[in-house]
Amino acid sequence: MRVVSLVPSLTEAVAVSLPGVLAGATDWCTHPADLDVPRLGGTKNPRVDEIVALAPDLVVANEEENRGPDLAALRAAGVEVLVTEVRDVPQAFRELDRVLRACGARGRPRWLDEAEAAWAAVEPGAPRRSAVVPIWRRPWMVLGRDTFAGDVLARLGVDHLYASHADRYPKVPLEELRAAAPDLVVLPDEPYRFTPGDGPEAFPGLPCALVSGRLLTWYGPSLAVAPRELASALRAARP
């Protein structure tokens, strides 16, 4: 079986569970750190001709991270493409199981069982807290409706204030974000790399939690430790 992954979290899941199966990945596939496969462009701009030349048995993709025209071009070239949809934690487990079986797994890997058990054991503390969750600046963009990261936070007792917005990733002026007066601001290090010196200064007086984007947005082996480590980062939020 030869698989090309166009999704960093799925790349990690396949590489850890089925060593030797991956034939290619994107430039953004950073885990496992020692992954040695051809790099085929970004998630939004994969080099379709190079993927086709690798003659993979399967390309795994995601409806949000990858563009429809690229996937259509792969299919037109005769490549089988499996497209995932992940909007919440339970769906992540179902889709991971589907992807791994399509890639040749005969059963569920241990890390997937451990991850599901870790999330089943989560008991959000009280009281619940409100948050804004920027994912970009210049312009400011935040989590909106129907997102995997939003569901992750909700299960940890944090309700983001734009969960009912019409857009999934709305652009919101900074003044409006401040005026919303959330209990905390959650700043991940991807897709925009917020850091202690780049992000918190925009929200004076508000507690800011700097969190791993991999723990917040990836659906793969990191799911096993995400509940504990994200909860710790959220508790450590400081103005």
Closest-CA residue to 99 (of 111, 81, 72): 81
Two tokens at 76? 């037109």
Condensed to tens digits (0 to 9), the pLDDT of residues 142-177 reads 999 999 999 999 999 999 999 999 999 999 999 999
Phi then psi for 5, rounded to 5 degrees?
A: -110, 130
Q: What is the DSSP letter of 238?
A: B
Q: What is the pLDDT along the chain (239 residues), one digit of tens a residue?
A: 999 999 999 999 999 999 999 999 999 999 999 999 999 999 999 999 999 999 999 999 999 999 999 999 999 999 999 999 999 999 999 999 999 999 999 999 999 999 999 999 998 777 899 999 999 999 999 999 999 999 999 999 999 999 999 999 999 999 999 999 999 999 999 999 999 999 999 999 999 999 999 999 999 999 999 999 999 999 999 87
Helix residue spans in 139-236 (DSSP H): 148-155, 174-179, 213-217, 226-235
